[in-house]
Amino acid sequence: MSYKVLARKYRPADFGEVIGQDHVLQVLKNSIESDSIHQAYLFSGTRGVGKTTIARIFAKSLNCSAYDAPTVEPCGKCSSCKEINSGSSMDFLEIDAASRTGIDHMRELLNSVNITSANFRYKVFLIDEVHMLSEASFNALLKTLEEPPPNVVFLFATTNPDKVLKTVVSRCLQLNLKTVGQELIGNLFKMILKKESVNYDEASIKLLSLSASGSVRDGLTLLDQAIAFGNGTLDESLVNDLLGTFDRSLLLQMVDSIFNNNQTDAFLFLEKLERTSADYDLLLKDLISIFHEISLHQILKNSTDESIIALSTSVDPQLNQLFYEIAVNSFSNLHAHPLPKEAVEMSILRMLAFQPLNDGVTIDTTNLKKKVKETNNKSASESEISISPQPREDFLEMKDWYKFLDTANISPTSKAYIGNFQFKEFTNSSIELIANEDEILPSKISEELDKHILQHFQKNFKINIIKGNVIDTPNMQEAKNNEKIRKNAKTDLENSDAFQNLVKSFGAEIENININNKS
């Protein structure tokens, strides 16, 4: 079999080829250059970030025969380097702890520790997935690990350092490897694709590097699959099909429709997204990611995505934060919903419900201008007279809370959101509201409400949110009032002479009446 998978073909051969682990490489290089080689090193980190790869490179650095002493740049061509690469050396033993967990295997290993190295400067024992060793094996290793023979080095690799015996960990130099950043993985992909003469687009690289989740090996495996799936090319649509991800352009168009309160288009794009994949968990994750990108660009101006830039300049930051909270809340409760599709649809409906309501609202400035004119005509002494505001506590009941919210000088979005909470009681120090289990009060809206309460009462009150059964809220009251107005309007219209003439002439009937409460 001549083909070699990318994860093996492009496995780093020296420290210079390792990406994303500079902090670990610096420790190892310093150890070599200062001739202070520790007797045991523990490499920990998630899968595919370079634990065993770095350990092998370190073993080559210690034993490269092209140099008279350990080096940070092993040649990779000498007999020592080749033997370590092939795993054929008697002085470099690589052991899989998952398949050799027992005490008998450990005794066999420890018996070979005292055998003098044949050709290498250091006899190196690399134990992969060391946390799989039994407690008896760990205990048998302790004494040798603390006082090993000269020129013996133990290298341990693990994805679960918490399961390694603490007495073993305390005898090791601990090196924690990080997940590798998306940009670093993407740059590695581009380098490999160029060498492999594979055509690609930037969107494909971004999708694959994101799906790697910080694991270089996982990323290279996905890259292999994508090349095979695309018959030697990388195309965004094909990569989306392979990964089961959603078309980002459709997602962005759906988000744009939600921000513009275009209900029909929002659900049209949702339907198109559902045709490509039914992974609603992933759909909410992608929505959260887009709201996050918009917020970041609004502050840092760090996005290169034209769609994100356009949305960030046209969308109200507070509204974007609110949609982010709605999406996160829906995602956290998705597992409890019997039908994930309905959960996603309700999340979008909630976003559409909390739209700014101030379109077309005008302020009557006639009286304001009149008061300003009157003030300007007053004498200086009169203008300087002021009345100190007195603390007000003029609502104690539910109907007064509704009246307070109706006249509150807060943003329409905040008012609509607060309208979902039911008033419980008002005390001398707090206002208690009842919320459903999945309802939260975002910090921005809470701050705005606190500010207006202080202006209204000249006193700070703590807002306490209590989880319970919500049966009567300002929004429910408004819906009832609108329904009452609609019914009355329909009755008045049906009884009018003009409508009766239409009924006689054309058989007309009333299908729907829209109520507009703007004043």
- Do residues 429 and 461 make contact, with C-beta atoms less than 8 angstroms apart? yes
Give the angle subtended at the CA of 126 by the CAs of 121 and 129, to the nearest 5°.
170
| pLDDT tens by residue, 450-488 | 887 777 777 778 888 888 888 888 888 888 887 888 787
pLDDT at 384: 40
Q: Tokens 């995602």 belong to which residue?
A: 331
Low-confidence stretches of the chain (pLDDT beneath 70): 1-2, 278, 355-399, 498-519
Name, in order, each residue with C-beta under 8 angstroms of 454's C-beta and a sequence gap of 6 or more: 460
pLDDT at 381: 42
Detail the DSSP E strand segments found in 76-164: 92-96, 123-128, 152-158
Structure tokens given for 126 = 């690399």
- Do residues 72 and 112 make contact, with C-beta atoms less than 8 angstroms apart? no
Q: Assign 126 to helix, strand or coil.
A: strand
Tell me the Cα Rg of the chain: 34
pLDDT at 34: 94
pLDDT at 371: 44
Domains of the chain: 6-176 (3.40.50.300), 182-243 (1.10.8.60), 248-353 (1.20.272.10), 398-472 (3.30.300.150)
Distance set, CA 347 to CA 97, 334, 351, 450 (Å): 47, 10, 6, 27
What one-letter code names the amino acid at 387? I
Distance set, CA 63 to CA 67, 69, 116 (Å): 9, 8, 14
pLDDT at 173: 95
pLDDT at 241: 82
- What's the pTM? 0.61
- Do residues 323 and 356 make contact, with C-beta atoms less than 8 angstroms apart? no
| pLDDT tens by residue, 5-43 | 999 999 999 999 999 999 999 999 999 999 999 999 999
Structure tokens given for 106 = 């450990």
Phi, psi of 431 (to 5 degrees): -120, 125
- Do residues 392 and 454 make contact, with C-beta atoms less than 8 angstroms apart? no
